[in-house]
Structure 1
């Protein structure tokens, strides 16, 4: 939640910084053009895509606790110095700050997936994973609702960064006190609970050795490549919505910054609510074994991406006279899209719990390219934020990404654990030294330990 707040609040703060008349006028106003704004919104992902693999290395070497602490604390500290940095160097320095925030936050998602892989019993993985990832929706909700109110208050637009950085540091303190990278080293759970988690995952206390990464098998795995593709498509559409909604509402629908922030947040209220609707529905379906996990993931992902592909096209035809309908369409588009968290969002852990952080490092490295390119694409297409026809092109491209990305996931996506997840896969298929491999009956994780 705190990381998504820091990631997405720029969409509102950029509007506040460049339009003093609609916010607290006691603070400086900067005349940045649309291209400069697009650089600011894109710059976070310039850094974000550079630390995904580093995160997987840190998680495998040091654990998810210190990795997630480093990423969150670094991002929070940079948020605190943002107002002074803008006063000193303008939009160029703001881009640098956002880029370094991206460097730190690039380690967040791989760390979370590594943490879930270590802590979630297999039968509770969907429930706990989806519950954890609702923090994204909550962070997006805060990022759209709170910054606009703060910018309108006596704190002005600098207060947005102070709030984001402050709440991030508070979380870091709680994480230091209570978190552990895995159940084996935790001081806060019983021996029975630890045994339950490890038994469910078919692991023992000493089963935390570092398994070699089968890179060739990963990059030639059809289910994994399908996951990468669908996450790219979803990220393109969602990043366009997350970063451009305030500008669209301000430019086309002529809404001021305060009401803009409130209505920009409404879709994320819907998204947060829908996340729990999806979560409870998935839990019931899996408990009663109505369909397989693969069918469930494909179905939820289809709902979450195909309905928004229709509403996005309709959104492009809205103007100032259709404010209410436009807000309803935006709310449906983003709210329904929350099902992706359970659809394809947890698929990396399904494919390989042993390499979950590595897989998410690869996925997020590729996905971050879309987060970086989408704002730049909008900057090229939209040179007049009040021109509805330009926004129609933006929304049509996002709708196509949603539709085609999910279509291939229906054909090729799966939740079956891949052969390269096994600790013996590297020995058998990569080293190809069968004379040095013990018989199968002697190669249990316990005997290895």
Structure 2
């Protein structure tokens, strides 16, 4: 996740020095609309590849799809400086291609998690893996300032991203396995234990995806709403924060890069804090898994909503408060890692990948729209009043989308998880949490072998 987020975030960090005169690196006179198109173009490709990625991961295995996509994305990173010299349109084309390959990441990772992560450890392990997105974002932002001021200039950031991506892809092909049954590094006992607690099975690759049942499920639409709300807020801040800090808070490039990384570092750390809390609350029977998903998702979306309302009234004279509110707005998003983000696996371990492809694809549309909306609002990037409207719109979307998740969301395995075998479905539902029950640690221990 860290490496793949290098490919996503590098342009958000580099767009500032790319459009300012700096020693040793070329600069370009792109206006606000052109920069908004560059920042949103990644998601044009990202949206298109989501559903195909989930189906490919289910058909051929997530290992080959994810490894190949990361390697191709790394190669594309090397070409960004040359594309910039050709014009902003060329950069948009590269970002679309990068989005196409990056669109495979979440469906593939969800497919792997559904095969590998026991339900009793789903909060901690899944969140730990996905926190790599935040740590990767923080790392690329904090190092970018030093790279920009070095002899490498902003092109060095893309070269670093590309090199690390290729190195990781080679390691992943060598070590990874699609499922416990094909892993060389675990015993047969470990394989059976993992498979008994995931709700997934090796025959699911041959199962047809029950699209009609999925699209008739209210729980699916609650999940979709939460995913869209998170994506709008997260990517609005991700793509616009460096510009906000530079134009409104009047921070230089190096300070901008470091301070822009703080919110994502906070989110990564908080992900590792909230996930064990979620598991403890559910495994010890304090609350149901459904309640836990709604509680933590509410913290992760309504909390940032309040921070953004306050941020809308900050000025350049209130840098400290503005940075604190930005850090909290992004950091508290960590609650969503124990909310909607793992809900696909709750609803259907066998079809978590295709479901993630659908929700991430639809949510990706908001990632296209959000930078364009910001570009339409910000006729003057230095005007805090225009930024206030941006923050208020984002807060309103958080409010509405999470409310829908609270109303319609569930965390029980759905009947269509194994549409070809009703008896298997009943067995699964007996083994897993019903809406009013939680998992018993004692039962898990007794059934381990």
TM-score, normalising length from structure 1? 0.92
**Equivalent residues of 1:71, 1:104 under 8 A apart:** yes
Structure 1 position 95 matched with structure 2 position 96: no
Corresponding residue of 1:16: 17
Contact in 1 for aligned 2:32/2:375 (Cα 8 Å): yes
Mapping of residues 205-354 of structure 1, within 5 Å = 207-354=203-350
Give 3-state SS (helix, strand or coil) of 1:132's partner.
helix
- 2:248 & 2:118 partners in 1: Cα distance? 48
3-state SS in 2 of match to 1:49: helix
8 Å CA contact 1:68, 1:108 repeated in 2: yes
Q: Which of these residues, 113, 127, 132, is aligned with residue 135 of structure 1?
A: 132
Map 1:376-395 to 2 at 5 A: 376-395=372-391
Deviations 1:161-191 (A, max 9, x none): 0011111111111101100111111111111
Cα distance in 1, alignment partners of residues 367 and 341 from structure 2: 16
Q: Residues 152, 120 of structure 1: CA spacing in aligned structure 2 closer, same or farther, 3 A cutoff? A: same
Residue of structure 2 in register with 1:364 after alignment: 360
Query: What corresponds to 1:413 in structure 2?
Result: 409
Q: How far apart are the structure 2 equivalents of 1:76 and 1:328?
A: 33
Off by >4 Å, runs of 4+ in structure 1? none
Partner in structure 2 of residue 435 of structure 1: none
- In structure 2, relative to structure 1, the CA distance for the partners of 1:203 and 1:398 (3 Å cut) is closer
Q: Which residue of 1 aligns with 2:394?
A: 398
Please give the residue correspondences for 1:145-184 in structure 2 after superposition, counting only pairs within 5 Å. Answer: 145-184=142-181
Q: How does 1:194-209 map to 2 (within 5 A)?
A: 194-201=191-198, 207-209=203-205
| 2:200–2:349 contact (8 Å) kept in structure 1 | no
CA distance in 2, matches of 1:153, 1:202: 51
Q: 1:387–1:100: structure 2 CA closer, same or farther, 3 Å change rule?
A: same
| 1:39–1:95 contact (8 Å) kept in structure 2 | yes
Structure 2 unaligned segments of length 5 or more: list them: 429-449
Residue in structure 1 matching 2:117, options 96, 120, 134: 120
Across the aligned residues of Structure 1 and Structure 2, the Cα RMSD in angstroms comes to 1.6
Query: Relative to 1, partners in 2 of residues 1:357 and 1:202: Cα closer, same or farther, differing over 3 Å?
Result: closer
- 8 Å CA contact 1:229–1:405 kept in 2: the answer is yes
After superposing the two structures, state which structure 1 stretch, 386-395 or 138-147, moved more: 138-147
Give the equivalent residue in structure 2 for 1:57.
55
Question: How far apart, CA to CA, are the structure 2 residues paired with 1:168 and 1:414?
Answer: 36
User: In structure 2, the residue corresponding to 1:355 is in which secondary structure?
Assistant: helix
- Give the 3-state SS of the residue equivalent to 2:203 in structure 1: coil
Partner of residue 66, structure 2: 68
Deviation, 1:36, is 0.5
Q: Please give the secondary structure, in 1, of the residue aligned with 2:112.
A: helix
Residue aligned with 2:380, SS: coil
Once the two structures are TM-superposed, the CA of residue 357 in structure 1 deviates from its matched residue by: 0.8
Deviations 1:238-257 (A, max 9, x none): 11111100000101111111
TM (norm. structure 2) is 0.92
Distance in 2, Cα, partners of 1:208 & 1:194: 16
1:122 deviates by 2.2
- 2:39 equivalent in structure 1: 41
Matched pairs, number: 426
SS at match of 1:207: helix
Structure 2 CA distance for aligned equivalents of residues 171 and 317 of structure 1: 43
**CA separation of 1:209 and 1:41: change in aligned 2, threshold 3 A:** closer
- How far apart are residue 227 of structure 1 and its match? 0.6
Q: Which residue pairs with 2:29 in the alignment?
A: 31
Counterpart CA distance in 2 for 1:156 and 1:444 is 59
Q: Which runs of 5+ in 1 are unaligned?
A: 429-439
Q: Distance in 1 between matches of 2:236 and 2:418?
A: 38
Equivalent residue, structure 2, for 1:85 = 83
- Find the aligned partners of 2:200 and 2:39 in 1 and give their Cα distance: 43
User: After superposition, what is the alpha-carbon deviation per residue over 1:379-401, rounded to whole angstroms, capped at 9, x for unaligned?
Assistant: 10002110111101100000001
Change (3 A) 1:146 1:31: same
User: What are the Cα deviations for residues 394-427 of structure 1, in whole angstroms up to 9, with x where unaligned?
Assistant: 00000001111111111111101111112426xx
The DSSP-based 3-state class of the residue aligned with 1:346 is helix
- Cα 1:36/1:280, change in 2 over 3 Å: same
**C-alpha displacement of 1:351:** 0.5
Comparing 281-290 with 300-309, which one deviates more in the overlay? 281-290
1:360–1:209 CA distance, 2 compared to 1 (3 A): closer
- Where 1:129 maps in the other structure, the secondary structure is helix
Summarize the Cα distance change of 1:209–1:381 in structure 2 as closer, same or farther, 3 Å threshold: closer
Aligned to 1:432: none
